[in-house]
Amino acid sequence: MTETQRFRIASIPADGVGKEVVAAGLRVLDALAANSDGAFAFDVDEFPWGSEYYAKTGKMMDDDGPEQVRDHDAIYFGAVGWENVPDHISLWGLRLRLCQGFDQWANVRPVQFLPGITSPLRKADDTELDWVVVRENSEGEYAGFGGRNFAGREGLGEIATQSAVFTEVGCERIMRFAFDLARTRSRKKVSSVTKSNAQQYGMVLWDEVFTRVSADYPDVETESVLVDAMSAKFVLRPEDLSVVVASNLNADILSDLGSALAGSLGLAASANLNPERRFPSMFEPVHGSAPDIAGQGVCNPVGAIGSAALMLEHLGLPDEAKRIQRAIEATCAAGILTRDVGGTASTDDVTTAIIDNLAD
Residues of the shown chain interacting with ligand GGG in the complex, contacts defined by CB under 6 A: 79-81, 91, 95, 252, 284-285, 287-288
Return d(Cα 271, Cα 34) in angstroms, integer. 24
Q: How far is the CB of 240 from ligand GGG (least distance, A)?
A: 26
Q: How far is the CB of 74 from ligand GGG (least distance, A)?
A: 15
Which CB, 61 or 220, lies closer to ligand GGG?
A: 61
Q: What positions carry a catalytic annotation?
A: 142, 195, 228, 252, 256
Return d(Cα 11, Cα 23) in angstroms, integer. 9
Which CB, 89 or 159, lies closer to ligand GGG?
A: 89
Burial of 324 (0-12, 13-18, 19+ CB in 10 A): buried
Q: How far is the CB of 314 from ligand GGG (least distance, A)?
A: 17
Which CB, 162 or 211, lies closer to ligand GGG?
A: 162
Backbone angles phi, psi at 71, to 5 degrees: -85, 5
Q: How far is the CB of 93 from ligand GGG (least distance, A)?
A: 12
Query: 334: how many CB neighbours lie within 10 A of its CB?
Result: 13
Outline where the chain has alpha helix (H). 17-34, 51-57, 65-70, 87-90, 96-101, 168-183, 202-214, 227-236, 248-262, 302-314, 318-333, 347-357
Hey, CA dihedral for 141, 247, 129, 274, is it positive or negative?
Answer: negative
Please tell me whether residue 171 adopts helix, strand or coil conformation.
Answer: helix
Return d(Cα 246, Cα 265) in angstroms, integer. 19
Give the residue at shortest CB distance from ligand GGG.
79
Return d(Cα 80, Cα 96) in angstroms, integer. 10
Which CB, 139 or 357, lies closer to ligand GGG?
A: 139
Backbone angles phi, psi at 155, to 5 degrees: 80, -15
Which CB, 40 or 77, lies closer to ligand GGG?
A: 77
Please tell me whether residue 297 adopts helix, strand or coil conformation.
Answer: coil
Q: How far is the CB of 242 from ligand GGG (least distance, A)?
A: 23
